[in-house]
């Protein structure tokens, strides 16, 4: 990403060009004046903390030793790690300041911002995954689901990147518990090394073993699960206008298609209206194919993990194999294509979908592909 390359600290001075960063990004300027809990953030508002975290990262020998492209990606992540705090911060009764949910909301915001900037998909998802999990190392050893989280991070990004992000985050604060939390971050790194997922994706015996590990809590990650799947279902995910119908025609000709758009038109339901009847009809058609062990394509936007889980969960219940295909296009291309469709989706609906867009990840399917259609 060229804009971040130009702003990333570089040798020999490793200077963080904060005035230029503020001028370039409106979302950085929005951090100014956003209050924080003084117990953990005695340094001031969110902008001050973000600048201090970026400066702390630039001083870390481990970051300076990374290849230039990795330095840029990590710097971008630290710069964006609290991007959602202006929209998540609340002053509770008694004056306590909280920013509940800012990591998850930050994931959504990072995806939208970097998509609009034209970032490569894998690069963008690496940054978004780190932002979503940036608080995990602080209290990781207290979590019952730590192994699954560490494995998920390793499949989407890298846990050694998460350790550097968390280290810079802590060093960019003025707080009494800095040393204690830094120790926790170090322990998280050691845990990931023991679990063979610190600087590379966690390996599983097979795609089927990985799929069921993330579906069944407590499952042994090294268990070579017997593959008893009866058919493969291609589940599409993508905003309106990315070209899902075209992709199906080119890549899955002849297969039955469960299409929410087609059902919606048959039933006379607006994309902005109540979708419950449409969804119910789609699931019944899917069950018919699954009961027969018949491969088919599930064509829907499926932009949230919750919606995809409803599809993939049903497929798994019928011993189906999930082939998840995520399609994308640049914003201007997507809007143009949508307006040229016989039945365009209102722009307001697309904007709403973009704001809750969670790209699929490898924990959700047997196979996953991120594809650009433009």
Q: What is the CATH number of the domain that holds 259?
A: 3.40.50.300
CB 40, CB 85: distance < 8 Å: no
Q: Phi and psi at residue 255, in whole multiples of 5°?
A: -80, 145
Q: Are residues 190 and 83 in the same domain?
A: yes
Structural domain ending residue among the three candidates 145, 169, 194: 194
Asked, for residue 207, whether it belongs to a domain, the answer is: no
Q: Are residues 133 and 261 in the same domain?
A: no
Q: Return the pLDDT at 272.
A: 74
Asked, for residue 149, whether it belongs to a domain, the answer is: yes
Q: Which residue range forms the structural domain that includes residue 38?
A: 2-194
Q: Return the pLDDT at 261.
A: 85
> How wide is the angle at C-alpha 167 spanned by C-alphas 163 and 170, nearest 5°?
140
Q: Return the pLDDT at 265.
A: 87
Q: Are residues 12 and 86 in the same domain?
A: yes
CB 102, CB 85: distance < 8 Å: yes
For 36, 131, 361, the CA distances from 304, given in Å and listed in that order, are 30, 17, 11
User: How confident is the prediction along the chain (374 residues), in pLDDT tens digits per residue?
Assistant: 899 999 999 999 999 999 999 999 999 999 999 999 888 899 999 999 999 999 999 999 999 999 999 999 999 999 999 999 999 999 887 788 999 999 999 999 999 999 999 999 999 999 999 999 999 999 888 889 999 999 999 999 999 999 999 999 999 999 989 999 999 999 999 999 999 999 999 999 999 999 999 999 999 999 999 999 999 999 999 999 999 999 999 999 999 999 988 898 889 888 777 888 988 999 999 999 999 999 999 999 999 999 999 999 999 999 999 999 999 999 999 999 999 988 888 889 899 999 999 999 999 999 999 999 97
The number of domains in the chain is 2
Q: Are residues 23 and 124 in the same domain?
A: yes
- In the DSSP assignment, the letter for residue 374 is -
- In the DSSP assignment, the letter for residue 205 is S
Structural domain ending residue among the three candidates 194, 210, 239: 194
Q: Return the pLDDT at 176.
A: 85
Q: Are residues 242 and 336 in the same domain?
A: yes
Asked, for residue 104, whether it belongs to a domain, the answer is: yes
Which CATH number is 9's domain given?
1.10.3210
Q: Are residues 72 and 162 in the same domain?
A: yes
Pairing of strands 97-98, 90-91: antiparallel
CB 299, CB 327: distance < 8 Å: no
For 25, 47, 56, 131, the CA distances from 9, given in Å and listed in that order, are 16, 18, 11, 20
CB 250, CB 268: distance < 8 Å: no
Joined together, the tokens standing for residue 328 give 């994308």
Q: Are residues 272 and 176 in the same domain?
A: no
Q: Are residues 85 and 152 in the same domain?
A: yes
Residues 255-260: contacts with CB within 8 Å, 24+ apart?
Answer: 255/295, 255/296, 255/297, 256/289, 256/294, 256/295, 256/296, 256/297, 257/296, 257/297, 257/299, 258/282, 258/285, 258/286, 258/289, 258/296, 258/297, 258/298, 258/299, 259/299, 259/300, 260/299, 260/300, 260/301
Joined together, the tokens standing for residue 367 give 């196979």
Q: At what angle do helices 276-291 and 305-317 cross, to 10 degrees?
A: 30
Asked, for residue 242, whether it belongs to a domain, the answer is: yes
DSSP assignments along 149-162, one per residue? HHHHHHHHS-HHHH
Q: Phi and psi at residue 187, in whole multiples of 5°?
A: -65, -35
Q: Are residues 292 and 182 in the same domain?
A: no
Residue 12's contacts (CB-CB under 8 Å, 6 or more residues apart) are: none
Helix (H) / strand (E) element for 321: namely strand 320-328
Residues in the chain: 374
């Amino acid at each position: 990403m060229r804009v971040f390359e130009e702003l990333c600290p570089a040798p020999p001075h490793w200077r963080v060009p904060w005035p230029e960063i503020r001028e370039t990004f409106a979302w950085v300027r929005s951090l100014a004046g956003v209050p924080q809990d003084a117990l953990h953030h005695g340094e001031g508002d969110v902008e001050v903390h973000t600048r201090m975290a970026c400066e702390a990262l630039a001083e870390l020998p481990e970051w300076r030793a990374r290849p230039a492209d990795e330095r840029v990606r990590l710097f971008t992540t630290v710069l964006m790690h609290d991007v959602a705090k202006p929209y998540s911060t609340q002053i509770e009764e008694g004056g306590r300041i909280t920013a509940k949910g800012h990591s998850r909301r930050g994931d959504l915001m990072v995806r939208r911002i970097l998509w609009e900037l034209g970032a490569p998909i894998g690069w963008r998802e690496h940054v978004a995954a780190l932002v979503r999990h940036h608080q995990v190392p602080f209290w990781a050893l207290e979590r019952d689901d730590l192994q699954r989280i560490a494995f998920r991070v390793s499949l989407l990004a890298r846990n050694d990147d998460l350790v550097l992000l968390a280290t810079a985050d802590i060093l960019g604060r003025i707080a009494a518990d800095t040393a204690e939390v830094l120790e926790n971050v170090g322990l998280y790194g050691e845990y990931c090394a023991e679990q063979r997922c610190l600087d590379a994706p966690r390996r599983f015996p097979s795609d089927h073993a990985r799929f069921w590990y993330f579906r069944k809590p407590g499952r042994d990650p090294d268990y070579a699960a017997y593959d008893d799947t009866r058919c493969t279902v291609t589940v599409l995910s993508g905003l309106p206008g990315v070209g899902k119908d075209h992709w199906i025609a080119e890549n899955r000709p002849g297969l039955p298609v469960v299409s929410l758009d087609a059902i919606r038109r048959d039933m006379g339901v607006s994309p902005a209206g109540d979708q419950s009847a449409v969804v119910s009809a789609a699931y019944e058609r899917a069950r018919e194919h699954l009961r027969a062990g018949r491969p088919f394509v599930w064509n829907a936007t499926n932009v949230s993990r919750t919606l995809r889980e409803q599809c993939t969960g049903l497929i798994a219940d019928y011993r189906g194999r999930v082939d998840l295909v995520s399609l994308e296009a640049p914003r201007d291309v997507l809007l143009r294509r949508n307006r040229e469709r016989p039945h365009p989706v209102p722009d307001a609906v697309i904007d709403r979908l973009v704001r809750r867009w969670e790209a699929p990840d490898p924990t959700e399917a047997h196979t996953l592909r991120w594809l650009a259609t433009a």
